[in-house]
Structures are given as C-alpha cells and as structure tokens.
Amino acid sequence: MENHRLILESLFSESNSKVKIPIEKGDLGLSLDASLDDYKKQITSGEKKWDELSKQINTLAIFNKNKHPDVSKKAVDKREALAAWIDKKRETDPEFGK
C-alpha cells in the first residue's frame, strides 16, 4: 500500500504538474468584440504574430468552453475567420504573419 502512495505522489508532484498557459487578461490587446479588421491590423502591422494570436484565441475558447459557450464560440469563429484570411495571404507570401 505504501508503494502505491509513493507512486501516486510522484505522478502528481510539482515537477509533473499540468502545463500552465501563460495568458493574462488583456494579452490579446483587443476584446473578442473587436472587428476582424482590428485583428488583421495587428497582424499586418507586426504587433502580433499569427501563431501567438492564434494560441491566445484558442486559450480563450478553451477557458470559456463550459461556463460561457457563447464566448467560446465567438473565439472559435474569430480564429477560423482569421485562419482563412492568413491562408489566403500566405498563398502569395509564405512568410506573412510569421
């Protein structure tokens, strides 16, 4: 029985803790209510890279999935629209948004 307890303690120790996603309130720089054009401006101006912005929007979708499904859907829809726009832009410039 002692061995089982030690195994469980080692599995759930601090060194094996869950991944923490580093996002703070306001990290997006925009709210989810902002227009797609505002997000596009952030990417085209170089304020944000697409990979970083995509991860942050996905994080919001995941965090809000159960308690606020409407907010989660808004985040998913925004990310998908931006992803389609990025894909179209990358047809002509493969480095766009990187």
Q: For 40-70, how does the pLDDT look when each residue is reduced to its tens digit (9 = 90+)?
A: 888 888 888 888 888 888 888 888 888 888 8
Whole-prediction pTM = 0.65
Amino acid in position 27 = D
CB neighbourhood size of 52 (10 A): 14
Nearest alpha carbon to residue 93 among 47, 58, 43, 42 = 43
Pair 79, 57: CB distance under 8 Å: yes
Q: How far apart are CA 26 and CA 67, in angstroms?
A: 20
pLDDT score recorded for residue 33 = 76
